[in-house]
Structure 1
């Protein structure tokens, strides 16, 4: 294992301190917690809190700031944050109009965020939440009852953050969030697994000439292992899965997110984007919003995921709403 770290057991704590050192004009770390919070939170606006296990950077701390999250809570690598830590995140974010939690669908996250919600409500903070389950690859995978929450969560952060900036109430955000999660779907592919520092070896093994479709962001199994394919063939497979899930109809509009999983060069992501464009151009659908980069990674996994959001109402405007965060 070759990593630029000190003690494997200290990676999260040292990462958070380094993140604040690099971005201290916008964020702060709540003392004795794993919470990264926005420095200047607007009063009387619904605050957004998300988080989960570390190892998915820039998610979630990289999305803390005006227009997206007001706090992000980190667990240990690929491990849910504790209810007490999430509770501290809720308290740090609360600005008097309630707190909305954005939770990826993993058993530990759902349980611990729900317990934190109860702790906050006992102290008089109004809290609601949404569970994102955008991964169409498999159901009931490792750590998950139902579909996993992956990079589609980033679109949820972005749109709900813009809506909160516009003054949406906690109730209105909940209604919008429930519609969003029904309209966002993702599927990925990996050439290598992630290596957790304290484990010291990859979560699974692929031969040099193999790849796997549908792998999760914690190295959970996918739906098909094949010989290495070209970018063109990968684009065809991923878009075919999304087409089947959405049932593309002429005239529909979608947002597109191409997401690197940690060790995939931007060169390769843009090559894939070009081939995805060729596939989607044949479908008589419009893509008025698109973004390519590393948004929801899996440590050093070599792979990509493809997310599409079927657009409604003013969602493109919300996606284009200006933000002040470190990673957008």
Structure 2
């Protein structure tokens, strides 16, 4: 294992320390709780938007805290759910008095611990909380880690769009309804070319033979649909896009937000090449790409490969996507 580490047991705290030092104008880091919140605390009268999960997927989730996106994020150990007390600390860091939306990826630990945090908040007289589970990976319906589909790249798109809705002053009920609608309108599919290595483990999560790829790989290195012989990028793009298009029943005339996401070990040149192929497939199907995001936005340590996420988008979703955002991981607008 070759990594830039001190003690693997300290990697999350030391990384969060570095993030806080790098972005003091945007975020405040609670190292004890391992929670990242907005600089200056919650915005009074605004719905708080919270997400969380295991570390190792940076910039998700902590890198999306700031104006127009998340109000707080809790960071578990690498590939491990935050405990209920962390979710509760994130809720408190985001509570501006108008309620809180929790965006939770569909992994058993994340869902159970977030639900337990809601119960703890209710017992303590905390704010009203709406939990929205994101389950967008079309590769598998059940896995060792989940009941139902895994939560993957769609989470990033929800964090941006729901965050923008909260920023413009929508109510808790409106933000939660939007999040649930979006969660049912998007899908993702990934391919793995090489395994990540969890620092505490010191060995690759899985092993691919020379000339193999894992189609439908999960963001923790979980197995996908099948291992296949390596394919040209054009055929890989088709293997990722076609299942998502079919699952969402996308048709000519529909418009989508498109995320072509690196998993940490794929050069940006290859991701842009993949976007070219993805865009061409959608164009031939008459599906309009309204907005695109290409890069490393939900990673899996140093895993090689990519994921493709499509979200059916109406004009309101596109407008919310275009709204200004200022976070360590996403920034545009005034």
Matches within 5 A, 1:64-79: 64-79=65-80
- Rounded to whole Å, the distance in 2 between the matches of 1:76 and 1:246 is 33
Partners of 1:207 and 1:24 in 2: CA distance: 44
Match of 2:119 in 1: 118
Residue of structure 2 equivalent to 1:322: 324
* CA-CA distance at 1:117 after TM superposition: 1.0
Does the 8 Å CA contact 2:16/2:31 hold for their aligned counterparts?
no
Residues 279 and 289 in structure 2, CA contact (< 8 A), matched pair in contact too: no
The equivalent residue for 2:8 is 8
1:26-65 alignment runs, 5 A limit: 26-40=26-40, 41-65=42-66
Aligned to 1:219: 221
**Are the aligned partners of 2:212 and 2:228 in contact in 1 as well (CA < 8 Å)?**
yes
How far is 1:126 from its partner? 1.2
**Alpha-carbon distance in 2 for matches of 1:240, 1:99:** 36
**Could you say what secondary structure the match of 2:326 adopts?**
coil
Give the whole-Å Cα distance in 2 for the aligned partners of 1:208 and 1:11: 31
Q: What is the aligned partner in structure 2 of residue 83 from structure 1?
A: 84
Partner of 2:166: 164
Is this contact kept in 1: 2:195–2:221, CA < 8 A? yes
Q: CA deviation at 1:31?
A: 4.8
* Separation in 2, partners of 1:305, 1:33: 31
2: distance between equivalents of 1:79 and 1:236? 32
CA distance in 1, matches of 2:55, 2:128: 27
TM-score (norm 2): 0.96
**Stretch deviating more after TM superposition (164-173 or 25-34):** 25-34
- Partner of 2:194, secondary structure, is coil
Q: Which residue of 2 aligns with 1:94?
A: 95
SS at structure 2 position matched to 1:254: strand
Q: Which digits, 9 at most, give the CA deviation of each residue in 1:185-237, with x for residues without a partner?
A: 00000101111001011111001211011000011110021111111111111
The verdict on how the C-alpha distance between 1:279 and 1:257 changes in structure 2, with shifts beyond 3 A counting, is same
Give the root-mean-square deviation of aligned CA atoms: 0.9
TM-score, reference length from structure 1: 0.98
Cα deviation code 1:46-82 (max 9, x no counterpart)? 0111010000000001000010001010000000000
How far does residue 123 in structure 1 lie from its aligned partner after superposition? 2.5
Q: How far apart, in 1, do the equivalents of 2:270 and 2:210 lie?
A: 18
After TM superposition, list the pairs within 5 Å mapping 1:104-183 onto structure 2: 104-124=105-125, 125-183=127-185
Q: How far is 1:247 from its partner?
A: 2.1
How many residues are paired up? 328
SS in structure 2 of the partner of residue 314 of structure 1: helix
CA contact (8 A) 2:88 2:118 kept: yes
d(CA) in 1 for partners of 2:121, 2:244:
38
Task: Kindly state the Cα deviation for residue 324 of structure 1 after the two structures are TM-superposed.
Answer: 0.9
Instruction: Measure how far apart 1:122 and its partner are.
Output: 2.1
Determine helix, strand or coil for the equivalent of 1:191. strand
Q: Structure 1: state its 5+ residue gaps.
A: none
